Amino acid sequence: MINTDYSIFDKGGHFPTESHEYLLKAALFPRDEALVFFQKWLVKEKLDNLNPEEPGFLTRFLDPLDPACHRLLPLLVDNLGIQNHTYLKKLKGHQKNVWVKNQRIFLSVKELIKALNEYKIDHIVFKGISLSTHYYDRIEHRPMNDGDLLIPMKDKERVLELIANSKLGVDFNEADMQILDFVHATHLEGKGRMDIDLHWHVFSEYSQVSKSCDFIWEKSSEFDWDEIKTKKLNITHEFFVALVHGRDFDPVPPIRWVADCLMILRKDLDAVDWNEFIRLSKAFCYLPFIKKAIPYLEERFDAQIPQEVLTELEGLTPTRDETSYYKSISSNIREKGTLAMIYFGTKRRFIYYRMFLKERWPNVWVYLFNWYLTRWKREQKRIV
């Protein structure tokens, strides 16, 4: 039987806390049910007795909330309807601010796409940009901190050289350049000082595993984004990427994966290729998380997951390394102190090496030396 005890994640993790779950249901469920969960959430957060007509209402309402809650509010407002609660009209301004920020991010990413098109470099928009434009009803329903753009791994060095030579209209942080051989993406600053994450792989663990991202490109499709040609993920791959994006521990759980997955399934459930989903679940190292996350979506949020998929997932057994890796990324090693953080962090690196890096680094000690040396150089650049 799949373990569906999510209570261990109440103090951080990747599954919603009880309060987060109330808010998610208020933002996602049919209106009558959603209003009930909204009231439960207000009581849980001790926000049920505020006066929306008093000056400073928004400060008193928003300040106690964590970022995960802030990101759900634009969707919540329209799902509940501003006429159905006195707080909601006041939150319309917050929703408009999200729309403005998203538009600024869009503009910045579009400029980069135009430049890449001039150099005939392929690209895919994914995560927030794709989700907000293709799966949510309105772009402001899906707030973003940055725009995510994927390029082929074979073009990584060429694109980085173009950026370094100021050919693409974006800048990068010099400190981040110290670690590019060890990561799957880098942070850029685009037009209007907006943030862009440039990826050469969708999964951080596989950044040095050749051809492991080919499946994304093979099934991607071209579309016109305001008359600019780019590509998007296949819906099954969009769902898989959104799901496993919630796999890592965070003191504030990255609960938006729940909303993203549900919006994708609601958009076109029949288009999801569940055989492909199972294939990816077997091919990548995320099975321990997937075996919890899929039943969670079905049990707590009525996600329309076919029974045969649930049955097949239940019958899959993660490898020992997959289980160890999942355990290492789903716990808060920082709370144990500096020495424990060094110990568990290095242990995680050993597991990481064994699973993903033997192809490129035949010797684990050479890999660890280079990893820590690179991290040290990066921190020195940041200090300077």
pLDDT for res 381: 62
Phi and psi at residue 56, to the nearest 5°: 85, 10
Q: What is the mean pLDDT of residues 238-242?
A: 98
Residues across the chain: 384
**CATH code: domain of residue 187:** 3.30.460.40
Place of tokens 């993203």: 260
For the chain, percent of residues with pLDDT exceeding 90: 67
Report pLDDT digits (tens) over 176-185.
777 787 788 9
* 103 in any annotated domain: no
- When pLDDT is cut at 50, 70 and 90, the band that residue 291 belongs to is very high
Question: Could you tell me whether strands 185-189 and 195-199 are parallel, antiparallel, or unpaired per DSSP bridges?
Answer: antiparallel
pLDDT score recorded for residue 380: 66
pLDDT of residue 41: 98
What integer pLDDT is reported at residue 368 of this predicted model? 76
Which pLDDT belongs to residue 10?
A: 43
Q: Quick one: 69 and 131 in the same domain?
A: no
Residue 201: per-residue pLDDT: 95
Chain segment 149-174, per-residue pLDDT in tens: 999 999 999 999 999 999 999 988 77
Percent of the chain, pLDDT > 70? 92
pLDDT of residue 382: 58
Domain extent for 364: 332-383
pTM, whole model, 2 decimals?
A: 0.90
Overall average pLDDT of the 107-124 stretch: 96
Higher pLDDT, 208 or 79: 79
Exposure letters 53-70 (e unless 16+ CB within 10 A, then b): eeeebeeebeeebeebbe
Q: Residue 251 pLDDT > 80, yes or no?
A: no
Q: How confident is the model at residue 190 (pLDDT cuts 50, 70, 90)?
A: confident
For residues 144 and 286, state if they share a domain: yes
pLDDT for the residue numbered 334: 66
Residues 37 and 157 in one domain: no
Q: In terms of pLDDT, which residue wins out, 247 or 46?
A: 46
Section 5-9 average pLDDT: 42
Instruction: Give domain status of residue 171, yes or no.
Output: yes
| Closest listed residue to residue 147, CA positions, set 103, 204, 213 | 103
pLDDT of 2 > 70? The answer is no
Position 100 in a domain? no
Average pLDDT on 299-321 reads 96
pLDDT score of 109 more than 80: yes
The predicted model gives 121-149 an average pLDDT of 96
CB 42 within 8 A of CB 50: no
The whole-number average pLDDT for the span 51-55 is 93
Is residue 325 included in any domain, yes or no?
A: no
240 and 135, same domain (yes or no): yes
Residues 207-239 have pLDDT tens digits of: 888 788 999 999 999 999 999 999 999 999 999
- How many domains, in total, are found in the chain? 3
pLDDT computed for residue 7 by the predictor: 42
Q: In what order do the strands lie in the sheet with 185-189?
A: 124-126, 147-150, 195-199, 185-189, 171-172
Residue 209 lies in a domain: yes
Same-domain check for residues 274 and 343? no
Long-range contacts of residues 88-97, Cβ cutoff 8 Å, at least 24 apart: 89/52, 90/52, 90/57, 90/58, 90/61, 91/58, 91/61, 93/58, 94/58, 94/62, 95/140, 96/140
Backbone torsion region of residue 220, taken as left when φ is above 0, otherwise alpha when ψ lies between -120 and 50, otherwise beta:
beta
Are 168 and 52 within one domain? no
User: What was the pLDDT predicted at 351?
Assistant: 83
